[in-house]
Homo-oligomer: A and B are copies of this chain.
Amino acid sequence: MEKYIILIFCKDKQGIIADFTQSIYSNNGNITYIDQYVDKENNNFFMRTEIEFNNKSDFKKFNLFFVNGPVKKYNINYDISLKYYNSKVGIYVSKYNHCLYDIISRTKSDELQIEISFIISNHIDLKNIADKFSIPFYHIPVSKSNKLDAEKKQLDILNKYNPDLIILARYMQILEDKVISNFKNKIINIHHSFLPAFPGGRPYHKAFERGVKIIGATSHYVTNELDGGPIIEQDIIRISHIHNIESLINKGKDLEKVVLSRAIKLHIEKKILVHLNKTVIFN
């Protein structure tokens, strides 16, 4: 059995689903999962399907049929990928180790179907973890004076590995524009607040100042706007007056790990469609 995931985006029109499903059926394919969403306000059509074919040849026939038929007829943007595929992932870290440990643990316990290809860090602190798990570790310090040089070094590594996903696992630097533009909708950051509340630095300090009763974490794709990219996942935990900043930071760690790992899972399982700075999550 050949299993594929197909993501589709186009303007909404009568007949898309009928034509699409017909194109699968008539080529001996089987739809095992279909999730579809129409944004009525903007007349947009989004769909995620999982399909299976008895052999590669049938899939190829379908593919030809689909690309020359529905794709042209409805002007469809699409993405077809194999369902079972170990995504190659690069991780950026600084000094905090909880997200890195969490991603590694989930990989080891088969929760995340990824291969961690490399780790980049502006600090040397977490190299011992990389070594323990035999993951290539690149120490690229970043300062005001060496930004361009650091960017070049990063790009060299990124080009070498060409990862399917880059994870900023509490990387405390802003990425350079070229890295962002080269990996559009492929860089996921975890921000330790409930965006759009408390963007930028020291969100736990700001939350403490304001006296909120809940703190949050947000995973999002990285764009040029700081903490302004498409939100993938958010979650929260209750706090109270008894929590000082230190305990907020500690409580938040749990949240950051969970919210980041959910976003990673959604990305590698091709469950996210980005449109106009918002995400459609097929879940």
Contacts and interface: CB of A to CB of B under 8 A. Distances in A.
Count the copies.
4
Interface size class of A (residues with CB under 8 A): 35 or more
Interface in A82-109: 96-98, 101-102, 104-106, 108-109
A258 B230 CA distance: 28
A242 to B, nearest CB: 6
Interface of A: 14-15, 17-19, 21-22, 24-26, 28-41, 96-98, 101-102, 104-106, 108-109, 111, 132-133, 194-198, 210-214, 216, 230-236, 240-242, 244, 250, 253-254, 258, 277-281, 283
B211 A230 contact: yes
Given A14-B25, A105-B105, A211 B32 contact: no
Given A40-B244, A214-B194, A21 B25 contact: no
Contacts of A17: 17, 21, 25, 31, 34
Contacts of A34: 17, 34, 36
Closest 6 CB pairs of A and B: A211-B278, A101-B105, A197-B197, A18-B25, A18-B21, A98-B109
A169 B194 CA distance: 25
Contacts of A230: 211
